[in-house]
Amino acid sequence: MSVDALVTPALLVDADALAHNLAVMAQALPGARMRPHVKAHKCTELARQQLAAGHAGFTCATVREVEGMAAAGLGDDLLLANEVVAPVVARLGAVAASGARVTVAVDSEATIDAAVAGGVREVVIDVNVGLPRCGCPPSEAGRLAAYARSRGLRVRGVMGYEGHVVGIEARGVRAELVEGCMQLLLHAAADVDGDDGLVSAGGTGTYDLNTWATEIQAGSYALMDTAYGKLGLPFRQALTVLATVVSVSDGWVVADCGLKAFGMDHGNPTVPGGTVWFCSDEHLTFAPDAAGPMRVGDRVRVVPAHVDPTVAYHERMHLVEGDAVIETWPVDLRNW
């Protein structure tokens, strides 16, 4: 069907841009060098496309994502790159018991004990490399690995996310800071002496700069957004939100997509040929600028600033070629 038949706001994924992005990443980081992060798209059908590109291991952010990936037959090697405790950790144990391979990040004796109690048998030691979020101090990694092994767990290696670095626009600064982060992680990895030698790190903004990690956890590259679009990466903008013009005034236009359709933590979305003024709950107000005169009922494709939360607001995404919808995929890994 045509995109004109879709109820707006609606997620559109340009099929050619998606295929380009998957191919570029597969060439840059083939096979096990890349562990795509499904939090960026929360869609098992898109994950199948990543598997077809040669990436069989996946990173997850929530237990729900682990469960959904395993249920979809994509559970050969799932890393939950977050700490979890009771009662939810028992759900991970159930997924592992069903035959999927599940690894969970731990950064304390408490999270190690939770993994044991929940039935998880493989872990990575999460190390703080500068982002003030989860992760143990690098000096504690070896001790925690020894404790995990004493509790009967298999320690696959370490992970550390340079999330405070991945979006820095100056490439030279980004590269320098990544190296500093990874030196911390490599020291921790030596102390941990992981059974699989995993050094898991990175994101879309550092996928080609982080040469120290054994695997990169990039996610946004598949769909992209304006935040990463500023970095000059070789990935194309695949994701837009289709909206309908519902009001036209002297100097501005209003479309039916707003705060409940976009992740706003990286700023306003973008209207090509227009200037966004602000978002309300269900409205986007913009000046048309070079877009020319607009009428009520016109359709606009709006580019999100942050792909991950934008996708999570929607129940489905539509794969399109031009104005033709060729497939509709459920965003089936939403919620918790």
Q: pLDDT tier at 5 (50, 70, 90 boundaries)?
A: very high
290 has a pLDDT exceeding 80: no
Shared domain check, 153 and 132: yes
Q: pLDDT tier at 289 (50, 70, 90 boundaries)?
A: confident
Number of structural domains in the chain: 2
Number of Cβ atoms within 10 Å of the Cβ of 164: 14
pLDDT of residue 293: 83
pLDDT of residue 291: 61
Shared domain check, 48 and 25: yes
Mean pLDDT over 285-294 rounds to: 84
Shared domain check, 93 and 190: yes
Q: Are 276 and 285 in contact (CB under 8 A)?
A: yes
Query: Mean pLDDT, the chain, as a whole number?
Result: 97
Shared domain check, 239 and 216: no
**Does 336 fall in a domain?**
no
Range of the domain at 319: 3-11+235-330
296 has a pLDDT exceeding 90: yes
**Does 162 fall in a domain?**
yes
Mean pLDDT over 256-284 rounds to: 96
pTM (global) more than 0.85: yes
Q: What is the pLDDT of residues 59-94, one digit of tens each?
A: 999 999 999 999 999 999 999 999 999 999 999 999
Q: What is the pLDDT of residues 87-135, one digit of tens each?
A: 999 999 999 999 999 999 999 999 999 999 999 999 999 999 999 999 9
Residues facing 245 on adjacent strands: 255
Shared domain check, 29 and 7: no
